[in-house]
Amino acid sequence: MSEFIIEAYRDAAAHTGSRIYPLGRAAKLKSDFARVFSSHLGHLIGGGRFETEGLLVTGPSGTGKTTEIGALIRRFNADNIALPDGSRARFAECVLKGIGTWKDLGKATAHAIGYPVSSKARLTQSEIWDIVVREAKLAGIVGIHFDEAQHIFREKSDADRLAVLDSFKTLMKSHDWPLMLIFSGVPELDGYMKTEPQLYRLLNLIRFSDINIPEDYRTIHEIVGSYALRAGVDVDPDLMTQDFFDRLVAAAASRWGLLIEVTKGAVMVCQDAGTETLIRDNFTDWWVGKTMVSRVATPFTHSDYRTLYRKDDPFMKALDD
């Protein structure tokens, strides 16, 4: 066995890494996606020109947007849905973090659909998007998910933002092959998209909300229990208390994606320790390893954890040591 492999972490990740707890928001995401795609497919069957719709998914960082959308797209691509020309429908994914200009956007999009454009290529904006549409049609790609989409708009002039928005609108209204677009990002993304009304009206809005307590206690209970069960370990009754749930929510900055991340981490610590029961100390140990704070200053141990750990700054203490 390699010195660089910790078997307990490897096995825990293998059992829980791809597991996604079925939160209610996933049902809405799937329903809206299915409705938009079904209409899209109907237009393709009917022939003629049409403009398609898309999704705008927003929520604070760590709410699990990328995970939920990625899982949806993987299931869609695996479904092998037949298109009118006999090809199989697929969705592409493109991360916009670090993308600066419209040309960078065009090249990143082309790369996402499997057609890399040389950095030396001298192409106009129109030519790049023509390539994207042409190659998407040939590959059976019906849509693209643009993740971290707020990054393409930050620190840009109004004119540059409108140029990017116009590019997205062009893809959705293409006469030859309209593309369903999914945009995901932090809440500020909604404000950027609103500045292009013609594009905004084509989007269906989905907001990933924060954890609400006490309403969500039952769901938190089920998440901790399900990940422990998946790993084959028991759950200490102490972890099924309101006090622990409140501390776990504080540790996760009230965000579902982070709560699941913390829970998975604690399960890995438990398995690495070779114990059969998930306990509070496992969460504390994971937190200390993640943040390097003192054990007495974690959300799971500190008496004033609500003040010490705030929603706007995950994993960071509000006060210095």
As its CATH architecture, domain 24-207 has: 3-Layer(aba) Sandwich (3.40)
Q: Locate the domains of the chain by residue range.
A: 24-207, 211-308
Q: Are 127 and 148 in contact (CB under 8 A)?
A: no
Mean pLDDT of 48-57: 95
217 vs 102, residue with greater confidence:
217
Q: Is the pLDDT of residue 321 over 60?
A: no
- Tokens 């677009």 correspond to what residue? 181
pLDDT digits (tens, 9 = 90+) for 86-136: 999 999 999 988 777 777 888 899 999 998 877 666 777 788 889 999 999
For 207, other C-beta atoms within 10 Å of its C-beta total 14
pLDDT band at 320 (very low <50, low <70, confident <90, very high): low
pLDDT digits (tens, 9 = 90+) for 176-197: 999 999 999 999 999 999 999 9
pTM of the model: 0.86
For 89, other C-beta atoms within 10 Å of its C-beta total 20
Residues 6+ apart with CB under 8 A from 166: 196
